Amino acid sequence: MAVGAADGVNLNQLADHRGVKECLQWFTREKQWISEKHLELCRIPAPTFQEADRAAWFLEQFRALGWEASIDRVGNAIAASGDGPYVALTAHLDTVIPARSKDEIEVDADGRFRGPGVCDNGAGLAALLGFARAWKSGPRLPEFALSPLLVANVGEEGEGNLLGMRYLCKQSGLARRIAAFVVADGANTDHITCRALGSRRFEAVFNGPGGHSWSDFGVGNPVHALCRAVALFADTAVAGSPKSAINVGLIEGGAGVNAIAQAARAKIDIRSESNQKMDELVGALEQAVERARETENQRASGGQVTSRLKEIGSRPAAALADDAPILKYIRAVDAHLGIRSRLDCASTDANIPLSLGTPAIAIGAGGVGGGAHTLQEWFRPEGRDLGLKRIFLLMLLLLGPQLPEPGSDGR
């Protein structure tokens, strides 16, 4: 399915269309409304796997703005205008750290927002609402070959494993009707994510009989085995191209300093720009776990340890073609708005459509932010309207505008 044919569209003419111009002005005129909605949504806790309240809030907002809206089987809040085929604008609902109370989302005297999720992905979600209202306000927009679809999706962060986007692209009844994706993630407009950074995540578990640190000394020790596996895997060479990384992010096990643990576990993150390289690193992890188990059991004079390696997440690596129309359109929009941006590689919701051959990019939603995934996360809304105009114009180009002849009244 091709995106709307906008190759012959003059971007200046499009931006000067009466309805489009009104929408672009709306993003500047209604900055306060957008910021109020931004803060309101961030005050609804939405940790991964617990996004239902925030999704329900979005459902109400979409419907109040005149969109046909529903919540799908996995919890995505979806709004449509028209019958499709669609171009989807998406933003993930979930946060790594949820706000524990409404007071934790605050505004400094200088107007800076502070609190978990205010940038990632409060900024993207606010853009979704801004687009939803702008689309329904003002003079009539041009006719389009495709229809817009708005998705506030679940499960982007951590062990959510791109659940919402995976369902939308593979199992949903909309899957075959979406021609392209624009993913609004974070704030800054200095990047265009067009290459999907792959990741595979595992939990390594060692089990043993356990016992007293003195009287049972000599039985296989799961903690010792796990530490040996981590050390072996950490020595894996990852330098060079394609760029890759490994990380042991969590280790736990044992009951006390004078007890031999009955279980120990670690969670491991493997990332690469190449699926083949990820497979090689997974093989190295498997070997490290096996060698650590065998070494511990060879040293043991009593009960032995067992090991298990469970995959808990998989995000495919992929890349957008250099000549993809969506890249041509975003570069044209950036030139029109005076935005300087670079192409980059990151792990986002765009991984799934890109891996399936569907055009997709992830971009910031405007403003400036930082401190993502920490309690010190912040967002500054100054200049947000530029990012929102960028998203709006890109969506219009992807939808395939049918512009009137020059000199008409733009209706």
CATH of the domain at 139: 3.40.630.10
The residue out of 266, 287, 315 marking a domain boundary is 315
Residue 2 lies inside a defined structural domain of this protein: no
Q: What is the pTM of this model?
A: 0.91
Residue 1 lies inside a defined structural domain of this protein: no
Backbone angles phi, psi at 42, to 5 degrees: -70, -20
Q: How is residue 74 written in tokens?
A: 């996995």
**Residues 176 and 212 both lie in one domain:** no
Residue 380 lies inside a defined structural domain of this protein: yes
Residue 104 lies inside a defined structural domain of this protein: yes
- Is 387 exposed, middle or buried (CB count within 10 Å of its CB: 0-12, 13-18, 19+)? buried
The residue out of 315, 336, 355 marking a domain boundary is 315
Residue 286 CB neighbours (<10 A): 15
**Residues 223 and 237 both lie in one domain:** yes
**Residues 146 and 21 both lie in one domain:** yes
**Residues 262 and 137 both lie in one domain:** no
Rounded to 10 deg, the angle between the 325-337 and 384-399 helix axes is 140
- β-strand partners of 260: 211
Residue 407 lies inside a defined structural domain of this protein: no
**Residues 236 and 358 both lie in one domain:** no
**DSSP sequence for 164-220:** HHHHHHHTSTTGGGEEEEEEE-SS--SEEEEEEPEEEEEEEEEE---EETTTTBTB-
**Residues 188 and 323 both lie in one domain:** yes
6-to-11, 89, 182 alpha-carbon distances in Å: 9, 18, 16
- pLDDT value of residue 379: 98
Q: What is the CATH number of the domain that holds 281?
A: 3.30.70.360
User: With helix as H, strand as E and coil as C, how does 152-170 read?
Assistant: EECCCCHHHCCHHHHHHHH
pLDDT tens-place string over residues 180-233: 999 999 999 999 999 999 999 999 999 999 999 999 999 999 999 999 999 999
**Residues 217 and 278 both lie in one domain:** yes
Residue 6 lies inside a defined structural domain of this protein: no
Domain count, the chain: 2
**Residues 110 and 71 both lie in one domain:** yes
**Residues 160 and 215 both lie in one domain:** no
**Residues 250 and 325 both lie in one domain:** no
**Residues 123 and 81 both lie in one domain:** yes
Mean pLDDT of the chain: 95
pLDDT tens-place string over residues 12-23: 999 999 999 999
Residue 211 lies inside a defined structural domain of this protein: yes
Nearest to 44 by CA among 96, 94, 112: 94
Q: Which domain holds residue 34?
A: 11-196+317-402
- β-strand partners of 234: none
d(CA 299, CA 398) in angstroms, rounded, equals 63
What is the radius of gyration, based on Cα positions, of the chain? 24
Q: Give the residue ranges of the chain where pLDDT is below 50.
A: 409-411
**Residues 44 and 126 both lie in one domain:** yes
- β-strand partners of 70: 78
d(CA 262, CA 332) in angstroms, rounded, equals 60
The residue out of 286, 315, 344 marking a domain boundary is 315
d(CA 378, CA 42) in angstroms, rounded, equals 12
